[in-house]
Amino acid sequence: MIDLAMDMEQYDCPFIDTTADHDVEFAAAHWEFHPVAEELECRMVVESPDRGALDNGLSALQSHENMHDVDLLAKQEGVAHLKTVMAETDAMGTIRDNDGYITGPFYIADGSETWHVGFDQASKADGTLSELERDNEFDVVERDEVTLPQMNDVVQNAAAAMTLVDGCRELSDVERQTLESAASGGYFESPRQTNLGDLAEEFDVSKPAVSKNLRRGERKMVERVVDALSELDD
């Protein structure tokens, strides 16, 4: 299988148009294509800095000519959960006509959309990209050739992967930033390329404070790694 990650700008996508004009971001939680009606039904999570910006974005989405239906399932502060039904875009039609399929969630922000698309053959992928270039702006961010054993490994270990993702989400902003700086600076190397003093200076805090943030982040991630290892064993 050829797996492509693409940064796509579609001129007929209501989500892309909405993020280009309003301060909102969309992420697809679930999607289903209805071939007879040529419609794409999605469960979307939309996020915005505040309720006012969110309401403006939702209003623009509902009035878009290619959006057939928007059903608000839940809303809290600057986040909402939607069920949407939209017309098939030209780019999606091109991918489907060439036997392509979606392999991961959509993410839409700032007028562009991240797609994860799969093809069974490299020739199909190359032909589709050539067709897409005629009417769309896009960049192939990543291209991987996934073998059958790799596909089987991904499917069987999806739960373990989500455990690690949940661990990342549990980190506070300070813990995440401290871990990232420590790792990129060589704190975990032997010998260390940076130390607590360097990290404390970078974050303008005391060495005990940066050590505390580092330990908290490490503990959360190690706990999740242990849980994921247990799921892999199962």
Contact 4, 117 (CB under 8 A): yes
Q: What is the pLDDT of residues 185-229, one digit of tens each?
A: 999 988 889 999 999 999 999 999 999 999 999 998 888 888 878
- 150 in any annotated domain: no
- 61 in any annotated domain: yes
**Greater pLDDT, 103 or 60:** 60
Statement: residue 156 has pLDDT above 80: no
Q: Which of 145, 173, 203 lies at the terminal end of a domain, its last residue?
A: 145
Contact 28, 22 (CB under 8 A): no
Q: Are residues 39 and 101 in the same domain?
A: yes
Task: Summarize the confidence of residues 103-113 as an average pLDDT.
Answer: 87
First to last CA, the chain: 27
SS3 23: coil
Residue-range definition of the domain harbouring residue 19 = 2-145
Q: What does the pLDDT read at residue 45? A: 93
Max avg pLDDT among 58-67, 137-146, 163-172 = 58-67
Q: What does the pLDDT read at residue 158? A: 66
Q: Is the pTM of this model over 0.85?
A: no
- 151 in any annotated domain: no
Q: Are residues 84 and 11 in the same domain?
A: yes
What is the amino acid identity at position 131?
E
**Greater pLDDT, 145 or 203:** 203
- 104 in any annotated domain: yes
CA–CA gap between residue 15 and residue 13 (Å, rounded)? 6
Percent of the chain with pLDDT over 90: 47
Contact 4, 118 (CB under 8 A): yes
Is residue 51 left, alpha or beta, with left meaning phi > 0 and alpha meaning psi from -120 to 50? alpha
Statement: residue 154 has pLDDT above 70: no
Where is average pLDDT lowest: 122-126, 133-137, 146-150, 198-202?
146-150
Q: What does the pLDDT read at residue 223? A: 87
Statement: residue 125 has pLDDT above 80: yes
Q: What does the pLDDT read at residue 152? A: 57
Q: What does the pLDDT read at residue 221? A: 87
Q: Which of 106, 124, 145 lies at the terminal end of a domain, its last residue?
A: 145
Q: Are residues 100 and 182 in the same domain?
A: no
Q: Residue written as tokens 């996934």?
A: 146
Q: What is the pLDDT of residues 30-79, one digit of tens each?
A: 888 888 888 889 999 999 999 999 999 999 999 999 999 999 999 988 89
Task: Count CA atoms closer than 13 A to 10's CA, side-chain side.
Answer: 23
Statement: residue 231 has pLDDT above 80: no
The CATH number of the domain holding residue 193 is 1.10.10.10
**Greater pLDDT, 138 or 167:** 138
Statement: residue 29 has pLDDT above 80: no
Question: Mean pLDDT across the chain, nearest whole number?
Answer: 87
- 56 in any annotated domain: yes
